[in-house]
Amino acid sequence: MDEGLLYTPSSGTSFITRERKKMRHFMNLQQKVVVIITDILLIAEICISMYLSSQQTPENLTPTFIKSFALMCVPTLVIAKMAIKRLRSPEPSTSTVGMDSSSLE
């Protein structure tokens, strides 16, 4: 096992903390708003599905809930994923990474 993955009190940092520092892509504000709106929509979809299924007989409760929730949930998640990808911050071009301004002239 790689000792770099283990937490040792003497190292002062854990594997998770080191990995977070290495992460390049953080969500920007617009992406965070999409996630919050998606969460709210999913909670509302659960409530609507529960309401619709409560109007049915007990034998049809589960199938009605699953059908109505799946029909609402899948498009919501697909649209949210597309929106998060579209709102991604532009990445720096690889040709200029690591170069100083004097070498670009």
Cα 79 from Cα 35, distance rounded (Å): 11
In a domain, 21, yes or no: no
In a domain, 49, yes or no: yes
Looking at the structure of the chain, the number of domains it has is: 1
By residue range, what is the domain housing residue 50?
29-88
In a domain, 8, yes or no: no
pLDDT digits (tens, 9 = 90+) for 71-101: 999 999 999 999 999 998 877 666 555 555 5
pLDDT at 85: 92
In a domain, 14, yes or no: no
Q: Which two tokens stand for residue 31?
A: 């992406």
pLDDT at 96: 53
pLDDT at 12: 57
In a domain, 2, yes or no: no
Contact between residue 83 and residue 34 where contact means Cβ atoms under 8 Å apart:
yes
Instruction: Read off the pLDDT band of 19 (50, 70, 90).
Output: low
pLDDT at 86: 93
Q: How many CB atoms lie within 10 A of CB 11?
A: 13
In a domain, 70, yes or no: yes
